[in-house]
Amino acid sequence: MGRIVAVIIAGLSLYVVLPALVRVISSWPRLSSLSLWWFALAVLAEVLSFVCAMALLRLVLRTGGWFAVVTAGLAGNAVTNTLPGGDAVGASVQFRMLEASGIDSVQAGGGLAVSSIIGIAGLFSLPIFALPVLVGGSVSSGLVHAAELGVVGFVLIAALGAVLLSTDKPLLLLGRGLQWVIKKLPRLKRTSDDLPTRLVKERDLVRTDLGKNWWKAVLLVAGRIGLDYMSLLAALRATGARPNPSLVLLAYAATAVIALVPITPGGIGIVEASLSGLLVLANVPSSSAVLATLVFRLGSYWLPTIAGGVCYVLFRRRYGSMRHANTNS
């Protein structure tokens, strides 16, 4: 029933944003008019952004290997980008792949949760860096509201992270709830009864490890988001536009926050409509905004989705079926 509701909501949302999506996609013949060097820089920045994301996940998982982390990350991302309500399914696929590769289930779940919280906090913090232009310049009210939303969201996610890292009760309650749900699943009835305690221990390990390597985590989050933003700037420059970077930052931050809401798979349609519209509010010519959005989504959505399918095949060739994943957690 839940999947049917997700499909209906995604379908209705796509119908609403379909004109903007068609407008963006139909601009593909104009790709030949782009500056080749700026286009290449946009794609390269996006690739490096994904490298930073995988490196952050590798750091919080406390593992030395790259293959399982990268293939699981890209495969999970591909599922998220293609299925209605795909965020939960994509996270599940990524978790199962990490578990099948030999990483402890609690370690995998904790690492995924921590990397997500850190990443979301980074996105919400972006408007803070654009405060000078908000205070000193004339900015569209739409971008101002986006900045306000970002600041509020950053405070909330930072508070949530602080609670989870410093107190045991929320994690114990979460662990009991997860354990109850897992035991109801027929394939995972061998689950042990110490999941709440193991979650707390895993949190303590992650906290200790991040305490030693906090600067690495900060640099990797900054690299992931900064390079993604640089990809958008390079895409705009490839069209010949010369926008105000601070206003583009606000448009990028607002779109990233909107994309966190799993209305359509991978935010398809929603991101195109939001980003192209917000770039226009950032004083980017409409034609350049639409074409730059297409270039940006090629690097951030379409190419990683294709790569995710390839990664899943490579993972299966090395580790076999995920049915053999460890279920003793």
Q: If you write DSSP's letter for every residue of 66-96 in order, what string do you get?
A: SHHHHHHHHHHHHHHHHSTTHHHHHHHHHHH
**What does the pLDDT read at residue 4?**
56
Taking the CA atoms of residue 292, residue 118, residue 257 and residue 53 in that order, the dihedral angle to the nearest 10 degrees is: 30
Q: Where are the alpha helices (DSSP H) in 29-140?
A: 36-61, 67-82, 86-100, 105-129, 131-136
Are 52 and 304 in contact by the 8 Å Cβ rule? The answer is: no
Give the burial string for 262-293 (b: 16+ CB within 10 Å, else e): bbbbbbbbbbbbbbbbbbbbbebbeebbbbbb
The predicted model scores a pTM of: 0.78
Low-confidence ranges of the chain (pLDDT < 70): 1-21, 84-86, 127-165, 171, 174-175, 178-179, 181-195, 199, 202-203, 206-207, 209-211, 262, 322-329
**What does the pLDDT read at residue 83?**
79
**What does the pLDDT read at residue 261?**
75
